[in-house]
Amino acid sequence: MNRIDLEGRIAVVTGGAQGIGFAIARRLLASGARVSLWDMNAELLAEAAAELGAGSIAVNVTDYAAVAAATAQVEAEYGRLDIVVHSAGIAGKNAPLDEYELDEWRRVIDIDLNGAFHVNRAVLPGMKARNYGRIVNIASIAAKEGNPNAAAYAAAKAGVIGMTKAVGKECAAYDIAINAITPATAKTRILEQLKPEFVDYMLSRIPRGRFLEVEEAANMVAWLVSAENSFTTASVFDLSGGRATY
């Protein structure tokens, strides 16, 4: 493993109690960063923080006031906030669009898209004031290609890509890089929310013939949040195992 230099950097990883977020937090810590995990599952969060030796704040990203308060807490405790990896999200239920429950659609959009907006909005003022920041928003291959019976998730993650491109351009005059990654399905607990036939469908679409390992996502993100990533912003990095090449 190459050791990306994040020595002394202060990082927040949302959805950091498990899955891709947990793997990213572990990689950032190994690279020298100090990390605060944010997650709404307080029990898992406490376990993850204890295992990694990281800080933690229980946060529901759909609540902007809570996100803003957590941001202020990190900046007060550590003196600044350099890196944010927004990984919090849900898959939502599987159903055709014309049968999709209205409340479930709103829930997926609220967590996966509005949550990303809340996190980015809360952390950017401090990054602008310090003229430095690195943000990676975790989108999905579904945002590029769509998955049948998962329109809410695809729509929300496509929104994350659009937002990332827009805000990356807004902040281009600062030393702030804001990018997104589009993972294919990874071996995480999110698979437990999906029907087995849907999981089989997603696996069949990956030319690599396997699911993403969470450490592979962490490897890509580690460079994107480093000072070496000093030019690229408002971009989307593929992590789909060959499923999409655009």
Report the alpha-carbon distance of residue 203 to residue 207 in Å, rounded.
9
Percent of the chain with pLDDT over 90: 87
Residue type, 4: I
Q: Are 86 and 138 in contact (CB under 8 A)?
A: yes
Q: What pLDDT sits at residue 198?
A: 79
Q: What is the pLDDT of residue 202?
A: 81
Domain that holds residue 104: 10-239
**pLDDT score, position 186:** 84
**Is residue 166 a part of any domain in this protein?**
yes
- The structural domain count of the chain equals 1
The confidence score (pLDDT) of residue 201 equals 85
Q: Which of the following is catalytic: 100, 153, 174, 246?
A: 153
Residue spans of beta strands (DSSP E) within 169-234: 176-183
Long-range contacts of 142-149 (CB under 8 A, 24+ apart): 143/182, 144/182, 144/240, 144/244, 144/246, 145/205, 145/243, 145/244, 147/198, 147/201, 147/202, 148/96, 148/201, 149/94, 149/95, 149/96, 149/198
Q: Is residue 112 part of a domain?
A: yes
Report yes or no on 139 lying in a domain.
yes
Does residue 4 belong to any structural domain of this protein? no
Give pLDDT, residue 172. Answer: 97
DSSP bridge partners of 14: 38, 86
pLDDT at 196: 84
Please check whether residue 3 lies inside any domain of the structure: no
* Each residue's pLDDT tens digit, 79-117: 999 999 999 999 999 999 999 999 999 999 999 999 999
Active site includes 174?
no
The pLDDT, as a whole number, for residue 83 is 99
- pTM, to two decimals: 0.95
In a domain, 245, yes or no: no
Ordered mean pLDDT values, 10 residues apiece, the chain (246 residues): 91 97 98 98 97 98 98 98 97 96 98 98 98 98 94 98 98 98 84 77 89 95 98 96 86
Residue 152 belongs to some domain of the structure: yes
Query: In CATH, what number is assigned to the domain containing residue 168?
Result: 3.40.50.720
Is 61 part of any domain?
yes
- Which residues, other chains included, contact 51 with Cβ-Cβ below 8 Å and sequence gap of 6+? none
pLDDT, position 232? 97
